[in-house]
Amino acid sequence: MIRIANASGFWGDQPDAAARLVAQQPDLDFLTLDYLAEVSLSIMAIMRAKDPTAAYARDFVEVLRSLVPFYQAGGKTKIVTNAGGLDPPACARACAEVLRATNLAHLRLATVTGDDVLPALRADPAAFANLETAAPLSSVAPRLVTANAYLGAGPIAEALHAGADIVITGRVADPSLTVGPCRAHFGWGETDYDRLAGATVAGHLIECGTQACGGFSTDWLDLPDNHDIGFPVVEISADGSCVVTKPAGTGGAVTVPTVKEQLLYEIGNPGNYLSPDVTVSFLTLHVDQFSENRVRVSGATGRAPTGAYKVSATYRDGYKAHGLLTIFGNDAVKKARYAGEGILRRLAARGCVYRETLIECLGTGASVRGLASRMSDTHLVETVLRVSVAADTKEPVERFTREIAPLVTCGPQGVTGYATGRPKILPIFGYWPCLIDRAAVRPTMALLPP
Amino acid sequence: MIPLRQIAFARSGDKGASANVAVFARSPAAYAWLRDHLTATAVEEYFRPLGVGTVTRFEVPNLEALNFLLPAILAGGGSRSLRIDAQGKTLGMALLEMPVDAPAKFFSRS
């Protein structure tokens, strides 16, 4: 049996999760930390333009620093993370510095690279049609920012076999962060599809941090101690089945409903879940509670993965900004709408052209506007006005950001909540999912010298 | 009519400009009812104001669940969408407010 916990579900998750996990449960074999959502790498590309050494999740270096006392006390938990982002070697160098400075240089670092396929996309745009729309890449090829293949568990397992304690990858499939340690531990081959499927399910269950333990769940309000939900731990057996649990003393709950919800989170066809390691069917899974906060997930079935890696590419696609103000008083929603429309009319009169604008009155069901039409908004005494614009160039968006605060003096009485400064101008990144032949990608593991 | 949340729980998430909503029955009887009545067409009709494309439904009987794929529902999704909910975080909660004509005996939570 191998015990794997997740200590980060996304770039920005709770910074002390890792240190708390190893304090709560020092017998963990592995910590996995996920930092990369669909467009995270494009944010790193922007960071790199300002500072060439900053193209990875620097937060992870701080996480490693927080684990120093644990390792100095003899802690053995290994780490697998995709914190390397666009530059795993730079991330590993920063980690090596932390380890050297704290007399932990015996801990071995390894990197996994080879996921960057931007040159391939640039060289032959015709070969990389959009998976969702079938559109050809040529229309956006000159604006490409990143293109990374989702690598599998193979190079992670290889790094662990070679003696790595901390494996830093770029883009890999999220569940592969868990499948890699399983392959290294159990010695599974590339064609042990049912076992790989089980470990893939386990990895999928923990990849979003506390979501397996009641975070983001329908019945969140009924959870015990929901102010401090535990991060998930999977105990994976040699047959690929697992028990989902969490450290004792933490909040939330691991129940059949919390586990089921996470099983189908961000899933398309449950009979055909594609990963670079294995194609998984969720239709054969059994989910059983056998004691408090322990849920067994078994029965996963797998078959050979496809001959292609999925690629997540991003391209520059203009700018946007969102402005927020609170409007209080009678007819609050009506006033908010007039005020929002007024901003856009003033900007139009000054020649600003936007490809898209949006006015939302939060509190009226705006998150699902149109569906919540049964909800009457006329009685609301308060609403948050949110005005958004998008344009191909920066200038009209910048002009927009100067028109929010003036509503305090030119809008209705009762406008407040303006003290947070001008809205930020945000770059928009288009998302371009596509496929690349496996033969065109070279996953590469490197063990750093001690 | 009762809100769907009385017989089911749900989870939504994003995939590019699309989203999925998984609906889980709170009892075996509720699953049988949902399988027969919560069709792809009904869900597509419900989400039409958000600009959803053709909805696909997957049955997951071993989890007493139905998984709905909602193409193009996120107005661009990710970093593109201007909406407050660019990533479909609210769609599960929204579907659970759907009024359904389910018999009272399914009300109990599992």
Helix (H) or strand (E) holding A51: none
Domain residue limits at B69? 2-77+85-95
Question: Which residue from B13, B60, B62 is facing A286, i.e. has the nearest CB?
Answer: B62
Instruction: Calculate how close chain B gets to A74, using CA atoms only, in Å.
Output: 40
Average pLDDT over chain A reads 96
Question: Which residue from B10, B14, B50 is facing A218, i.e. has the nearest CB?
Answer: B10
pLDDT tens-digit series, residues A161-217: 999 999 999 999 999 999 999 999 999 999 999 999 999 999 999 999 999 999 999
What pLDDT is stored for residue B47 in this prediction?
96
C-alpha to C-alpha distance for A326 and A88, rounded to whole angstroms: 43
Q: How confident is the model at residue A378 (pLDDT cuts 50, 70, 90)?
A: low
Q: Which chain A residue shows the shortest CA-CA distance from B72? A: A132
Is the Cβ of B11 closer than 8 Å to some Cβ of chain A?
A: yes
Domain ranges of chain A: 2-115+150-306, 315-432
Is the Cβ of A424 closer than 8 Å to some Cβ of chain B?
A: no
Average pLDDT over residues A326-331: 95
Q: What phi, psi does A194 have (nearest 5°)?
A: -65, -40
What pLDDT is stored for residue A362 in this prediction?
94
pLDDT tens-digit series, residues A285-315: 999 999 999 999 999 999 999 999 999 999 9
> With contact defined as beta carbons under 8 Å apart, do A67 and A155 qualify?
no
Residue B30 lies in a domain: yes
Residue B51 sits in a domain whose CATH number is 3.30.70
Residue B110 lies in a domain: no
Q: Which chain B residue shows the shortest CA-CA distance from A357? A: B82
Is the Cβ of A389 closer than 8 Å to some Cβ of chain B?
A: yes
Chain A residues in contact with B65 by the CB 8 A cut-off are 260, 264
What pLDDT is stored for residue A39 in this prediction?
80
Chain B residues in contact with A257 by the CB 8 A cut-off are 9, 24, 110
- Work out whether strand A78-81 and strand A30-33 pair parallel, antiparallel, or are unpaired: parallel
Residue B108 lies in a domain: no
- Work out whether strand A233-236 and strand A166-169 pair parallel, antiparallel, or are unpaired: unpaired
Question: Which residue from B10, B24, B78 is facing A38, i.e. has the nearest CB?
Answer: B78
What pLDDT is stored for residue A416 in this prediction?
93
The lowest-confidence range among A69-73, A132-136, A145-149, A230-234 is A132-136
CATH code of domain A315-432:
3.30.70
Q: Alpha helices, DSSP H only, in A102-136? A: 118-123
Q: What ipTM was estimated for this complex?
A: 0.96
Is the Cβ of A360 closer than 8 Å to some Cβ of chain B?
A: yes
Q: Which residues in chain B land under pLDDT 70? A: 107-110
Q: How confident is the model at residue A420 (pLDDT cuts 50, 70, 90)?
A: confident
Instruction: Calculate how close chain A gets to B98, using CA atoms only, in Å.
Output: 9
Is the Cβ of B45 closer than 8 Å to some Cβ of chain A?
A: no
What pLDDT is stored for residue B106 in this prediction?
73
Chain A residues in contact with B20 by the CB 8 A cut-off are 264, 266-268
pLDDT tens-digit series, residues A240-297: 999 999 999 999 999 999 999 999 999 999 999 999 999 999 999 999 999 999 999 9
What pLDDT is stored for residue A303 in this prediction?
98
Residue A212 half-sphere exposure, CB side, CA atoms within 13 Å? 31
What pLDDT is stored for residue B110 in this prediction?
45
Residue B105 lies in a domain: no
Evaluate if residue A374 carries a pLDDT over 60: no
What pLDDT is stored for residue A294 in this prediction?
98
Evaluate if residue A234 carries a pLDDT over 90: yes
Is the Cβ of A364 closer than 8 Å to some Cβ of chain B?
A: no
What pLDDT is stored for residue A370 in this prediction?
82
Question: Which residue from B5, B65, B96 is facing A264, i.e. has the nearest CB?
Answer: B65
Chain A residues in contact with B48 by the CB 8 A cut-off are 370
Task: Report the predicted TM-score, pTM, of the whole model to 2 decimal places.
Answer: 0.96
Is the Cβ of A288 closer than 8 Å to some Cβ of chain B?
A: no
Q: Which of B14, B66, B80, B89 to mutate to test the interface with A (most CBs of A within 10 A)?
A: B80
Evaluate if residue A343 carries a pLDDT over 50: yes
What pLDDT is stored for residue A373 in this prediction?
62
Evaluate if residue A12 carries a pLDDT over 70: yes
Contact B58 A270 (CB under 8 A): yes
Residue B103 lies in a domain: no
**Which residues does A214 contact at the CB level (< 8 Å), separation at least 6?**
A220, A223, A226, A229, A251, A252, A253, A254, A255, A258
C-alpha to C-alpha distance for A154 and A184, rounded to whole angstroms: 9
Number of domains in chain B: 1
